[in-house]
Amino acid sequence: MSPRLSLRPTRFGLGFLLLVVLTLIGCVNYGLSLGYGLTFLLSGVWIMTAAPLNRVARGLVLHLDAPSHVSAGHSAPFQVRAQTSGPAGLLSVQLRSEAGDMTCVTLRVPPGETARTLLEMPVRARGLLTLASVQVAVLDPLGLWELRGPMEVSGPVTVFPAPESGAPPPLRHGAGAGEGQRRQPGREDFSGLRPYAAGDSPRQISWRHAARTGQLLTRETDAPLGVVRHLAWTDTAGETEARLSRLAAWIETLRTEGTPFSLELPGVHLPSGSGEAHVRAAQTALARHTPLPQPPEVARSSLKPARPDGVALRATLLALGVALLPLVLRVPVWASVLTFALLTYAAVRTRRALPPAPAWLLGLLAGLGGVALNAQYGTLLGRDGGTAILAMLVALKSLETRTPRDGRLLVLLGLFITATHFFHDQGPLTALHSLLSVAALLSAAALWVAPLPKALSLRPALRLLGLAAPVAVTLFVLFPRPDGPLWTLPLQGPAQTGLANQITAGEFSALAQDDRVAFRADFQGEVPSPENRYWRGPVFEAYDGVSWTQVRVPGPPPSLEPTGPVWIYSLTLEPNGSPWLLALDAPTRAPQGAVLTSAFQAATFRPSGTRRRYLLESRPARLGVSEHRERLSFDLILPEGQSPRARALAQGWQTLPPQRRIEAALNYLRRGGFTYTLSPPTLPEANRVDAFLFGSRTGFCEHYASSFAFLMRAAGLPARIVGGYLGGEINPDGGYMIVRQQDAHAWTEVWLPEQGWVRVDPTAVVAPARVNTNLSTALTQPQATTAAEPGPTAQLRLRLDAVQNRWNEWVVGYDSAQQRDLLTRAGLGDVGSVPYLVVLPLLLTLAFVPAFLLQRAQARPKDPAARSLHDLGARLGVPRAPGETVTAYLERAAARHPHLREQLGEVRAAYHTARYAAGDPAAALQDLRLAVRQVRPGRRPGSGNGSR
């Protein structure tokens, strides 16, 4: 029979959908562009798995064969037979008895074959075993969807009472009879022939008579009356079930001996007889003896949970290991060792039957791990602490996995952990790892659905991901992206490489030894010259004699007067944990989600915890010509009593014009024998500027900027320090600029009347190469004007970085602004417009076409002859039923299309020739394909184009 089924997600499918929703919310809030891709890929998988189920169910034919009888205390074997004329599928059959017992089996149904399996239903009491329900479900390979529905319940199964163990022999009634006495049916002497009855032994059939007349007759025998045993209810004592069990034991004994017997029960009399039919009649009488016992209730506490499949669990643990692998680079060593040790123990335990870890030990490990990670990161709610504790909890969960539901939960947790890696990085390697991790986890999920295959194979999962890719790409491009977060929750983590909140001696020299990328800038037009590549970051105005720090000075915003060309560029900022946007000095327009401060800093509303892309606009300008007086007064403050020699030196310049004061300070640095180095001597906290200007005379950019700002303030000019980056390397493969951490720089701004804040870089006086070339050249050749050509290693590095930049541009940096620009250029308007609402469902529909074509191709049989008949059935709209012969099928098709009877006859002859004729079948198969093509259901004889 073909049950009527309805489509619905399974519990695992609902959990999978919840995971997709949660990851989508996280991607929207934190702007994880690569997370969008993973979320939409999983969404495509969730949809794609449901698509072929209807095709599988349409050709499904299912039979449930119940046993005729069973003994109490045993299991009733129900045989499941399934066939399908469509593609291969997974079938789940669940039986539930009225007593509350349940059994379930999942089997694979290959196309064109009959799949068979047994369902063992426990039987606890005699009487009638009645099925309360039979549920049939067609599952997808991952178990996300099911086509579920009820199947007609078969009749009750007779349950014989269990024979008593160690029962005494049956009682004998009366003495033995001699010849001539009354006789009873027995197995001794021939007494005649009678018509055959079901249950008669084949040895008793008169085969000679059957050969002569064609009628089955059974030889009857009899025996003296004394040989027949009489089993009576009155011969037993005790409870009803105990008496029936003893009678069942006596019947089994007499059946084994071949002794005829009669049975006497209250209200039931079974005459003497022998053979299997007689025994079954007696056992049935015992089974239906009233009152029938009530079956014992099945206590939930007594039901042991199904043990997880060892191969599926080990495959899941391996996939979890792949998903957790990037954490090794981020969490403490002890946390990595503990996490992977727990996963390894869980895998070994499935092979060697090791005892499960006690609950108190798991709780202790979770508590200690949480305390240690909280001490390491300061919180468990941040990015690093949260992912580390999640990984440890998942590893602990693997130790208590006892059911398939636990195994599927591990798969969902593994997918969630894969998504959390995008908080740290969204590069191509992370994308490749996430794809491998998802494929491994989905392959492990498939092993929890069906018993085969018994190995972790990535091919089906990769094929499914490939089919879901068009849906993922369509949603990635067109799914609406908000301009801001849904809520604000900082992604806390450890200190990251980048500019600090203050300047102290050695701060920038430490960054100069780090060649990692700080950001990339892609200019739309002309690239600024080296002397204009000052990337403005934090501005430091408060000085305590040791450190320079930022301060918020109240007052109206200062003026900004552009004086040069406009530079428009895309800035791809690497994660640095700070809110500053390193804009080319000076920024004139902040991107959406950022502001320009009164110190002309571009800053975002939240720190950069992930790689982000911004569109910025800068141009040379006069800054703060109309600056607020309170700020100018604040930028003249010097700590009392600090560096008296430097103060006295600068006070001697106060009578000079402002520009001459700057020149005097620069000349002092130019002619004072100062050198540029990454490893200057340590300066004392007291009189630090004096120790540098009149003592060591060697240092890095922060030494020169700090000392120069001190001299300017002492000379009566407002001054402050600007931190940021200087320079950048042009990548010839992409035409963009790479700025590394080693390009970090500090310079000074001095306020001059009628000019505003003027940039002065005292480091350029000591090492001009720092402005004209790069850091390495400035350290070795301070007066150089050009940098050396990059070697082969550097060129390869630039090519790889070009790939990274394109990835950042098209994937990581794809945001709401780029989406609006793309929709506008495509003529679709904005998100929500009528063209957008028309094109989006159209493209999503087209995205399913590859999957539809592949599933249609997979539904065709691999055998060429059978494939031709399959194509014929699709053309006629008459599919071939499972197990249907070719002749019967073509006769049925001819009855549906009588005008094609002759052509279908040619198809039958060609099929038999191709299938059974001797020799090479290639020509016969070609004839069969030609005969199938000649069958045209739309054309009838005489329906040509002739005139009437």
Task: List, as own/partner pairs, every contact residues 793-802 make where C-beta atoms lie below 8 angstroms and the sequence separation is at least 24, other chains included.
Answer: 798/729, 798/731, 798/732, 798/733, 798/738, 799/733, 801/517, 801/520, 801/731, 801/733, 801/734, 801/738, 802/731, 802/733, 802/734
Pairing relationship of beta strands 744-752 and 719-726 according to DSSP bridges: antiparallel
Q: Are 611 and 811 in contact (CB under 8 A)?
A: no
Dihedral pair phi/psi, residue 286, rounded to 5°: -65, -40
Dihedral pair phi/psi, residue 562, rounded to 5°: -60, 145
Q: Are 901 and 866 in contact (CB under 8 A)?
A: no
Angle at 309 between CA 307 and CA 314, to 5 degrees: 120
Give residue for tokens 């403005």: 536
Sheet harboring 502-503: ordered strands across?
Answer: 502-503, 548-549, 542-543
Distance CA 435, CA 465 (A): 9
* Total count of residues recorded for the chain: 948
Q: Are 746 and 705 in contact (CB under 8 A)?
A: yes
Angle at 161 between CA 159 and CA 163, to 5 degrees: 135
Distance CA 646, CA 714 (A): 8
User: Beta strands of 40-113 (E only): which ranges?
Assistant: 60-65, 69-71, 75-84, 89-97, 102-109
Pairing relationship of beta strands 698-699 and 675-676 according to DSSP bridges: parallel
Distance CA 459, CA 467 (A): 12
Q: Are 550 and 609 in contact (CB under 8 A)?
A: no
Q: In this structure, what token pair is assigned to residue 777?
A: 């050249």
Active site residues: 701, 745, 761
Q: What DSSP character marks residue 98?
A: T
Question: Of 170, 158, 159, whose CA–CA distance to 252 is shortest?
Answer: 170
How many angstroms separate the first and last alpha carbons of the chain? 49
Angle at 928 between CA 924 and CA 934, to 5 degrees: 140
Helix (H) or strand (E) holding 584: strand 583-584
Cβ contacts of residue 543 below 8 Å, gap of 6+? Answer: 549, 637, 638, 639, 706, 709, 710, 713
Cβ contacts of residue 866 below 8 Å, gap of 6+? Answer: 112
Q: Where are the alpha helices (DSSP H) in 327-451?
A: 333-352, 359-377, 383-399, 404-420, 428-447
**Cα separations in angstroms, 598 against 423, 538, 559, 587:** 31, 11, 9, 12
Pairing relationship of beta strands 229-232 and 261-265 according to DSSP bridges: parallel
Q: Are 747 and 722 in contact (CB under 8 A)?
A: yes
* One-letter identity of residue 422: F
Distance CA 240, CA 249 (A): 14
Pairing relationship of beta strands 145-150 and 131-139 according to DSSP bridges: antiparallel
Cβ contacts of residue 669 below 8 Å, gap of 6+? Answer: 704, 708, 762, 765, 766
**Cα separations in angstroms, 209 against 192, 202, 217, 739:** 12, 14, 7, 105
